């Protein structure tokens, strides 16, 4: 692994371990709680994170290969509709099956990241935008550092439905880390 990529990989691996511990601690009732300001229940965020890597891998592979491809292949891409469809297919799956899928996809992503280097991280990429953020050009390394905190961002979303869990020491410490807190705040402002 390239030395410039390793810190991002370390964050991705650590955040996923924290996320999995949190998810495995949830009861069936907690997993089915509606998340305020969302159309999803808690479990659907787990399903989303289980399917995200498979969506991202082809895009990241194209970036590593020097392509200017964007998420969705350069076409208009409704990420919300895409995510809803992926989540809907997993509604009845047990949580351990969802986490197993997430682990397989994450292993593939980490293997791909072994091909990243300084040239990959410093190149400009096209972020196609979504329903909340406009399209833009951004340095891939900057995008990747934010994307690496996706598990933490959605844990904060899930905790909106689980306010009694917010004070748990491991969760509170994780979400209070300055970088994590900054990305959560940025994401929540973008969603407002």
CATH number for the domain spanning 119: value is 1.20.120.450
- The one-character DSSP state at 177 is S
Residue 48 located in a structural domain = yes
User: In total, how many domains does the chain have?
Assistant: 1
pLDDT at 77 over 80: no
pLDDT at 164 over 60: yes
pLDDT (mean) for 10-38: 96
Among residues 52, 71, 75, which one has the least CA distance to residue 62? Answer: 71
Q: Which pLDDT belongs to residue 87?
A: 87
pLDDT category at 73 given cuts 50, 70, 90 is low
Q: How many CB atoms lie within 10 A of CB 163?
A: 9
pLDDT at 103 over 90: yes
Residue 66 located in a structural domain = yes
Give the span between the Cα atoms of 95 and 75, in whole angstroms: 33
pLDDT (mean) for 70-87: 70
Q: Which pLDDT belongs to residue 70?
A: 61
- The one-character DSSP state at 129 is -
Q: Which pLDDT belongs to residue 75?
A: 53
pLDDT category at 72 given cuts 50, 70, 90 is low
User: What pTM was computed for the model?
Assistant: 0.90
pLDDT category at 181 given cuts 50, 70, 90 is very high
Residue 1 located in a structural domain = no
Question: 184 lies in which domain range?
Answer: 6-191
Question: Which of 33-47, 91-105, 109-123, 124-138 has the weakest average pLDDT?
Answer: 124-138
Cβ atoms of 71 and 56 closer than 8 Å = yes
């Amino acid at each position: 692994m390239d030395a410039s990529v390793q810190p991002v990989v370390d964050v991705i691996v650590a955040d996923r371990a924290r996320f999995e511990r949190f998810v495995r601690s949830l009861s069936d009732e907690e997993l089915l709680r509606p998340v305020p300001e969302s159309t999803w229940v808690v479990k659907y965020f787990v399903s989303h994170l289980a399917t995200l890597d498979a969506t991202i891998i082809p895009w990241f592979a194209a970036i590593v290969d020097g392509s200017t491809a964007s998420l969705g292949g350069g076409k208009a891409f409704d990420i919300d509709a895409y995510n809803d469809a992926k989540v809907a297919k997993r509604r009845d799956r047990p949580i351990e099956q969802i986490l197993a899928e997430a682990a397989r996809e994450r292993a593939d992503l980490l293997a791909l990241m072994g091909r990243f280097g300084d040239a990959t991280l410093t190149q400009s990429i096209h972020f196609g935008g979504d329903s909340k953020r406009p399209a833009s050009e951004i340095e891939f390394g900057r995008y990747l550092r934010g994307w690496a905190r996706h598990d933490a961002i959605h844990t904060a979303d899930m905790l909106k439905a689980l306010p009694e869990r917010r004070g748990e020491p491991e969760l509170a410490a994780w979400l209070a880390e300055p970088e994590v807190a900054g990305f959560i705040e940025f994401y929540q402002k973008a969603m407002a």
